[in-house]
Amino acid sequence: MTIRQVSEKYGISQDTLRYYEKIGMIPPVTRTAGGIRDYQESDLGWVELAICLRNAGMSVEAMVEYVRLNRQGDSTMKARLELLQNQRQAIVERRDRIDRALERLDYKIRVYEDAINSGKLSWDQKHGDENGGN
């Protein structure tokens, strides 16, 4: 696949793909005899992983380290596993913070909806909104 096709397939710019390769977030892409990028299935797998890990909040530095370790071979499996486990834990912690924020917002939305329907705004002390709810 050409860089244009990959860009369109994944919805990321060609410049981003070049950047990922330049800094080592993905290994060097297969090239034609003329030096043109010719993405193979293995290259696409790396692009997909880079997109996934970026969406998961992994830092560029950690992604570069993961690729570097991968290219060193099986002797780095433990280090790669730890890197992925650490990222997973960070995502779980972020999800927990988001879940708590959603619960709080859902509560406030319910209170305001009830107040609009009943004409009376009433905050629950359990949620710490006894001083007006904000």
Angle formed by the axes of helices 77-118 and 60-72, nearest 10°:
150
pTM, two decimals, is 0.73
Confidence of residue 133 (pLDDT cuts 50, 70, 90): low
pLDDT at 10 over 60: yes
**134 lies in some domain:** no
Q: Which residues pair with 37 in a beta bridge?
A: 31
Domain presence at residue 127: no
User: Could you read off the pLDDT of 60-74 as tens digits, one per residue?
Assistant: 999 999 999 999 999
Q: Is residue 47 part of a domain?
A: yes
pLDDT digits (tens, 9 = 90+) for 28-70: 999 999 999 999 999 999 999 999 999 888 999 999 999 999 9
Q: Tell me, yes or no, whether 53 lies in a domain.
A: yes
Mean pLDDT value across residues 84-95: 93
Instruction: Kindly state whether residue 97 falls inside one of the protein's structural domains.
Output: no
